[in-house]
Chains A and B, each alone.
Chain A
Amino acid sequence: MDEFVNLKATELRLGLPGTNNVCEERVSCNSNNNKRALQADAENETETSPPRKTQIVGWPPVRSYRKNNVQTKKNESDGESQGIYVKVSMDGAPYLRKIDLSCYKGYSDLLKALELMFEFSVGEYSERDGYKGSDFVPTYEDKDGDWMLIGDVPWEMFECNCKRLRIMKGSEAKCLGSGV
């Protein structure tokens, strides 16, 4: 029994260490344009960052176009020559990888590379239902701190907005599809 408890403690999952569930805060509104978002703290044990302030959807009322375009100071380095490096984690894998998004021409390019890197396959994408046919779902964290499904937005928008990638597996992946 003790062994079982120890295993649980080392399991990589969404949520702060010590919490049991993926918790959803009803902070005014759970959905917005094309986000199938899980609202949860995406802290995992390998990273230390300050606790993020709860972000309210659509607040402050700044147009998304403007929000996306005034972030240059923070996330992008000068020009495309330095690349857009983001971390990639996969549920169950012991360590993370890092890739340069600017090396890829589009989603199919990127997904093929991820499939090779982590040795898995990603299933069929449809706009309505997400990825079907695989236990693995590719997601990314955007500038607003939300976890999004890879493939929903135009590639350029994704390049600008993506902070890091996570290949979700199993039950959490299924949760994303239901939009709850």
Chain B
Amino acid sequence: MDRAIKLQLSTSEMNYFPDEVIEHIFDFIPSHRDRNSISLVSKSWHKIERYSRHQVFIGNCYAISPERLIRRFPCLRSLTLKGKPHFADFNLVPHEWGGFLHPWIDALSKARVGLEELRLKRMVVSDESLELLSRSFVGFKSLVLVSCDGFTTDGLASIAANCRNLRELDLQENEIDDHRGQWLNCFPDSSTTLVSLNFACLKGETNLSALERLVARSPNLKSLKVNRAVPLDALTRLMSCAPQLVDLGVGCYENEAEPESFEKLMAAIKKCTLLRSLSGFSEVAPVCLTAFYPICENLTSLNLSYAAEIQGNHLIEFVQFCKRLQLLWILDSIGDKGLEIVASSCKELQELRVFPSDPHDEEDNNTAVTEVGLVAISAGCPKLHSILYFCKQMTNAALITVAKNCPNFIRFRLCILEPNKPDHITSQSLDEGFGAIVQACKGLRRLSVSGLLTDKVFLYIGMYAAQLEMLSIAFAGDTDKGMLYVLNGCKKLRKLEIRDSPFGNAALLADVGKYETMRSLWMSSCEVTLGGCKRLARNAPWLNVEIINENENGRMERNEEDEREKVDRLYLYRTVVGTRKDAPPCVTIL
């Protein structure tokens, strides 16, 4: 919070101001955490805050019910909801686990809330919900769906047809059943308000003429991300009628672009002087990346992580000219050499993600990245604060160097592809390396560890990672002490997710109150037993303790329960609304 505002708020004279003035002051405080704090000051502030709150963030859709949300914040305009736990991304959560949008839309619609924005992550969305959404909220402007599923292009057609004021339709990495219909045609001719349109994840054909007409009549369009079905010549036409684009996601290029089409594309690209962000390229010939050379110096954001067809040397050739890059997502085919070049060219880099091009090491290639690339980046990019790095090997020495070079990390996620892999030079565990990271990076909020790790790394994390909010652990630790170090030490911990680590009941049950300060805990293939989970559930009625069974088809048989049986997947979270009613048979809530 701004100091000036803090000072104002601490003055008791504030209570003599009319509500509208106080409300106006609150308008300057958008952060939901600060607003939560404000609402605790006094009854009158609670009331004023309630009615003036327009944006609400709900990190776990089962922590509260839609009815209670609406009762408290009747003037809600923007809602963010997250559903399935993070590990659902990696197939560890059954498809039917939950996270349904419908009850929320239903309640918001019935209460006539003036909803304008909806952002969803890992929720199950149905066409029915999208239809209801499109018909219920006249001022609806923005729909952002990330990693959701359950809907088809029919649902998109409802949104297109009925949301007269739609500004943003952003579909990121969703599983959408593409009925190859005419959803783009459903935007009425009068629809001219689009600012952002992203349908890159749609797998089917796209009605190109409908898309072109839509883009042509949307003068405010700043962000356009198309799917694979938009070929090169169509892309050229789109860019020609939208030279104001700031953010572009390209689809599919023919492998051998004719020189004439290529020239036309380059000419169109040259006119897009405002272009700052580029992504897509999922099926392109490398030569087509070169069409973007005219504007590459302007780019601040580049996502080539789906460009499996572009080889390392072409990636390097392009990226080295992107001197203003702040965000880079790329495949490990760029190699250590490529990262060294990035380090010397991209001095403004803040966020880097390096994804594995061959996750299961099927091709036994040698072009993946190692600790060498990571050290080079840390040395060359002083502004780096977020990293996600998949690599084949790592050393403590490298991590210690990285920590020295980059004490400003907020997010540090390292994934060594082979579980339990030690320092490849000393054969020791990587405890010291990660220890150096948490000790140096005082502002670290998110951490993922990997490689061979003992309880010691968790001792370091508990001791030094004072700002840590999210921790992901896999194949690490030796005893319950490891988990205890983290639970006792990391005061700001909100999300803890653990898989395949030897933590059991003693760690789980040591401090039940801790879970009230956290959003959720996930433990899979650990040592916790059914008995331990039951005891936890008994002692903490404000927690939902969910056991996800191996056997998808059946519940646990009451008379066959063995309390010593290890629980395969445990997911617990604080909630004010008790046991949810929509759990499928494979989930048992204790």
Contact = CB atoms under 8 A, between A and B. Distances in A.
Interface stretch (B85-93, B265-273, B396-404, B482-490): B85-93
Contacts of A180: 551
Interface string A48-63: 0000010111111111
A10 interface: no
A94 interface: no
A173 B374 CA distance: 48
A65 to B, nearest CB: 4
A106 to B, nearest CB: 11
A55 B419 CA distance: 11
B444 to A, nearest CB: 19
A63 B569 CA distance: 19
Given A29-B524, A29-B569, A66-B305, A156 B178 contact: yes
Contacts of A58: 87, 90-92, 499
B95 interface: yes
Contacts of B147: 63, 65
B588 interface: no
Contacts of B525: 28-29
Contacts of B448: 61
B551 A61 contact: no
A128 interface: yes
A153 to B, nearest CB: 9
B415 A31 contact: no
Contact of A128 (B95, B178, B553): B553
A69 B282 contact: yes
Contacts of A71: 308
B500 interface: yes
The binding surface of chain A is classed by DSSP as loop
A74 B359 CA distance: 13
Interface string B279-290: 000110000000
Interface of A: 28-36, 53, 55-67, 69-74, 78, 128, 154, 156-157, 160, 178-180
Interface of B: 87-96, 147, 173-175, 177-178, 201, 203-204, 255, 282-283, 305-306, 308-309, 331, 355-357, 359-362, 390, 415, 417, 419, 448, 472, 474, 499-500, 524-525, 550-553, 568-569
The 7 A-B residue pairs whose C-beta atoms are closest, nearest first, are A58-B90, A32-B91, A34-B95, A33-B95, A65-B173, A28-B525, A63-B89
Given A34-B94, A58-B92, A179-B552, 20 more contacts: A29-B525, A29-B550, A29-B568, A31-B94, A31-B552, A32-B91, A53-B360, A56-B419, A57-B92, A58-B87, A58-B499, A59-B90, A60-B415, A61-B448, A62-B359, A64-B89, A69-B306, A70-B355, A72-B282, A73-B309
